[in-house]
Structure 1
Amino acid sequence: MSDHSDVKDMRAWLEGERSGLSLALNTARGGLRILETLGVVGRHGLGWALGDRPPIPALLRATFESLGTTYIKLGQFIASSPSIFPEEYVEEFQRCLDRTPPLPFHYIRDTVEAELGSSLETLYEFVDPKPLASASIAQVHAAKLKDGRDVVIKVQRPGVKNVLLTDFNFLYFAARLTERLAPGLSRSAISGVIEELQAGMLEECDFIKEAGNLKAFNVFLRNTGNTQAIAPEPVMSHTTGKVLTMERFFGVPLTDMNVLKKYTDDPAGTLISALNTWFSSLMMCDFFHADVHAGNLMLLEDGRVGFIDFGIVGRIRREAWNGMAAFFDAIGRGDVRKMAEAMVVIGMTRDEVDVAALARDIEGLQGALGQVDPSALMQADRNDKEVNSLLVDIVKIGEGHGIRFPREFALLLKQFLYFDRYVQVLAPEMDMFSDNRVDMFGSIEEIPGGFLH
């Protein structure tokens, strides 16, 4: 009787969960995408069965890259989430690159004209057919408006949103089924991670929201009297959900030391401007730039720091930032005891933590931090590996004491470590923590309620 009841329960549950998957199957494209996904997985699985057996993380990474946009982004999520995934997967997915062959220009023309309702020649004085960049979600082209302003056009790849919806509905359904069949896995909230990632990626596909992020960041800069930094201004008359036209910046990446010296004789001052801007955004803006890797920070020709690419932003809850701020402050003071106490606050654990033992382990990590090769920052691939290695070490120390960190901690800490490496490369004589020109936490008292509102 109970077996019959279990079967009925499973059937009822599958009927309820099937609604998400049916959304993907409602269109021919959705169905074809699922068939394509199954084909790719089957091909890689067959190779494994026939004896081509790389390590499982490498096999998954190769499969993800074959599956394209959604899975590449999922791979990058794994790479930046050592608080969730095992070290060997985090390291392997560092190789999951978000670069794709450029689309033929006629796709760009067709999308822009369909979205903006006019011919390309009517809308722009000039559009360079050769892309500045090509990634899995969008392609970027240099252009000039009719009034002479230099801009860039970010154009969404055809069908990307439909692919994302199909893939994530399929992944969510598979995750829920897996959790149902293996209840022990539900503690890891696989479906919850997929839902969170889907929301973030769909937001990244909405260029109106990205334009709003650009505008909001510039409003934050004006409201705080910050004249040292800037983000591109969007051109809303030439922007839709799939096409983003924005001011073009001219300058050099902050990590291009050889060229940077031609623009400024004070690289430390440039870094301080970037640091103060980013730290104040944590406390006084609704979001922070969550991807400050090499290339997304520029020294402009007029001496300002340009923050570009606001497709990925982070939002930190007040409680989380309170703990993180205490952690960063403790790093600056070299107080391993306070660092340990802050890690206990940030982490999610019901167990009693031996703070003294945790502090001793952190003290050992501090020595390793001082031995990192700063030249790694000059090479994007090595930079990612160095930064994530530090994250993995910190997370491993915490987990060794029963502490499990929320992903927002790793996301924020990763940006913090990027800046630490920038300082080591561009201004090695500067102590980021003790230099009185760097204002990490001084503005907190100016905000009603202390931290984030």
Structure 2
Amino acid sequence: MGLISTGFKITKTIRNIGRLREIATVFAKHGFDEVISQGVLAKIPGFVLPKSTKNKIKDELEKKEESSWGGILGYRLRLCFEELGPAFVKFGQLLSSREDIFDEDFITQMQMLRDKVSPLPFSDVKDSVEESLGHKVEDLFEFVTDKPIGTASIGLVYAAKLKTGESVVLKVKRPGIEKLIETDLSILLFMATQSERAGDEVKYLGPSKVIEDFAVSLQNELNFNIEALNCERLQKIIEKYDEEELFYLPKIYKEHTSDDLLVMELIDGIPFSDKNRINEKIDELEDKLNKSVHIFLKTFLNEGFFHADLHGGNFFYTKDEKIALIDFGLVGSLSRSGRQNFLAIIYSLLTYNFESLVYEFLDVAEYEGVPDVDKLISDIKYSLGPYIGLTVQQTNFTVVFRSIVRTLREHQILLPREWFIVFRAMMTLDGVGKSLGMDFDLFKILEKDVHGLIKENFKKEAFVEDALWVGRDILSSSRMMPRHLRWFFKEWSKNNYAFEVKHQGHETAFEKLSSAVYFLGICMIASVLFFAGLNMVDPVILQSGYFRQVPIVTYILWFMSFTLVMFGLRKRI
């Protein structure tokens, strides 16, 4: 679809001038008239500044006691996004997960966003369905309901029955949705670029990068083949850990599925969003939900792949007493090193090790300059002070996470999007259980699992895999070294083989470079010796901590590794 590759400057959006004018009008109408009148959008041909409704909005907010800056801004933006359609609604839902940037009142407003879309009869999309299928609908289906059973900004869902007798659903793209989203994304990116010129505070938030990441995510959601693959991949992963077969994922009919059409099994069950009916089953469901969270954590921490849109409407309790999942357009993934960071973060929280907690967050966060680590540790400790000494049952995962993120934001430290997907999934799970009045606590579950998960993620095979990656990196560097040296000598020859040396004290830059290269070589050799020794140790011995059974050869190799590093450090001092 090329959402980003086109390059979004004002000259690129002239062909969409009507839509740009419509967007500017909506924003001005809902209280952003001053911003619009002073910016480049006011120069759009034919644009007339409408009467602002900001005073009316402010009055409504004050009645609701939500008159904070974040509440007012969020309320205005919510009205704008709902009026402007799918891309803006999806963008607002993305903003609702960025608690590192916005305050709680703003987040609350974004979470209230709803798709204001009208249902379309199947007759309006029948031609596009038949084009995707390559067949007449009547050739494959006994019937398809004319009225959709589900509507959203991107797709429509219709119940149907195959000629072979299976009950299925058809998820169909709205006509013209790709073109509309592409247009709106280009305009959003243009507006983000313009906003970055307002000052360093806005630029630091990286709105252009946020829009580009959002475009990639939305592009995946627009491809139903990707959603089908996500479902099948998640199904295989869950089967490895779901010994009691608590979960059920719908069958995908790949022979009928394409980029524009998804055909999958109809789930017959009670959605968790239907609290009245779910509460009737709460006694038999509570234990299953707790076990399902254990499975979710195991699949996430061992495989790094998970369902990232776990709200009540995507959970069903079936007649077979299983927990079924639907809607696999939004999934999350985290590398093994990222999962180890996550484990360390949770363990640091459970043990109140604030220094470790801060360093683990800094390891994955995005920031400019050098943060004041001591001040950050102190602020984190202060923000979490009310929870020190409480049992896990008395501690709320969502509140704790928001306290941490608020403190990081004050230090201009942001978490990457993939980390917010992880924590949002955790908070949503926590919220689903609490909303049903269940004795459900995510911290309690994490405390029970974390020690076993740490052992699993730091076992012998993991160390060996790390050693292999280190070896690959060293090999890759050795292959690149001749090219870099050739380039170095080529550039050096242009300067008649002369160095420009800047003195710092009595040591030249060349001496520093030589010392660094020498020490790097020492460390590489020491690493090989260390991992060679580690490979000789049985993982059971490592996990038990009974080091008397470690082979003597391993100790010799470790001693040689340690001696080499000490020798290298001594040479550098």
| CA deviation profile, 1:344-367 (whole Å, cap 9, x unmatched) | 444445213232552232132567
Greater shift in the superposed pair: 17-26 or 149-158: 17-26
For 1:237 and 1:116, locate their aligned partners in 2 and report how far apart those are by CA, in whole Å.
9
For 1:437 and 1:247, locate their aligned partners in 2 and report how far apart those are by CA, in whole Å.
35
Contact 1:251–1:300 (CA under 8 A) maintained in structure 2: yes
Deviation at 1:423, TM superposition (A): 4.3
> Which residue of structure 2 aligns with residue 428 of structure 1?
439
| CA deviation profile, 1:8-45 (whole Å, cap 9, x unmatched) | xxxxxxxx98666666666xxx5543343344345443
Q: Figure out how many residues of one structure are paired with residues of the other and give that number.
A: 422
Identity of matched residues, %: 26
Contact 2:82–2:116 (CA under 8 A) maintained in structure 1: no
> Which residue of structure 1 aligns with residue 52 of structure 2?
48
For 2:325 and 2:318, locate their aligned partners in 1 and report how far apart those are by CA, in whole Å.
10
**CA pair 169-182 structure 1, distance change in 2 beyond 3 A:** same
**CA pair 47-444 structure 1, distance change in 2 beyond 3 A:** farther
Deviation at 1:158, TM superposition (A): 0.8
Q: Does 1:416 align with 2:429?
A: no
For 1:368 and 1:74, locate their aligned partners in 2 and report how far apart those are by CA, in whole Å.
37
**CA pair 25-447 structure 1, distance change in 2 beyond 3 A:** farther
For 1:279 and 1:403, locate their aligned partners in 2 and report how far apart those are by CA, in whole Å.
26
> Which residue of structure 2 aligns with residue 246 of structure 1?
264
> Which residue of structure 1 aligns with residue 457 of structure 2?
444
Deviation at 1:157, TM superposition (A): 0.7
**CA pair 125-437 structure 1, distance change in 2 beyond 3 A:** farther
Q: What RMSD in Å do the two structures reach over aligned CA positions?
A: 3.6
Alignment of 1:80-159 (within 5 A): 80-159=97-176
The AA in structure 1 aligned to 2:172 is: V
Larger relative contact order (CA 8 Å, sep ≥ 6): 1
> Which residue of structure 2 aligns with residue 12 of structure 1?
none
Normalising by the residue count of structure 2, what TM-score does the alignment of the two structures yield? 0.65
**Structure 1: runs of 5 or more not aligned:** 1-15, 375-385
Partner of 1:291, secondary structure, is coil
**CA pair 139-368 structure 1, distance change in 2 beyond 3 A:** farther
For 2:108 and 2:310, locate their aligned partners in 1 and report how far apart those are by CA, in whole Å.
19
Q: Based on CA coordinates, which of the two structures has the bigger radius of gyration?
A: 2
| CA deviation profile, 1:369-407 (whole Å, cap 9, x unmatched) | 9779x9xxxxxxxxxxx95x6654331133345643333
| CA deviation profile, 1:138-180 (whole Å, cap 9, x unmatched) | 1111111111111111111111111111111122233234435
Partner of 2:414, secondary structure, is coil
1:200 maps to which of 210, 217, 222: 217
2:372 maps to which of 335, 342, 352: 352
> Which residue of structure 1 aligns with residue 286 of structure 2?
268
Partner of 2:169, secondary structure, is strand
Contact 1:391–1:410 (CA under 8 A) maintained in structure 2: no
> Which residue of structure 1 aligns with residue 385 of structure 2?
363
Q: Does 1:395 align with 2:405?
A: yes
Normalising by the residue count of structure 1, what TM-score does the alignment of the two structures yield? 0.80
1:279 maps to which of 288, 294, 297: 297
> Which residue of structure 1 aligns with residue 19 of structure 2?
33
> Which residue of structure 2 aligns with residue 299 of structure 1?
317
**CA pair 320-134 structure 1, distance change in 2 beyond 3 A:** same
Q: Does 1:187 align with 2:189?
A: no
The structure where helix makes up a greater share of residues is 2
Greater shift in the superposed pair: 440-449 or 115-124: 440-449
> Which residue of structure 1 aligns with residue 93 of structure 2?
76
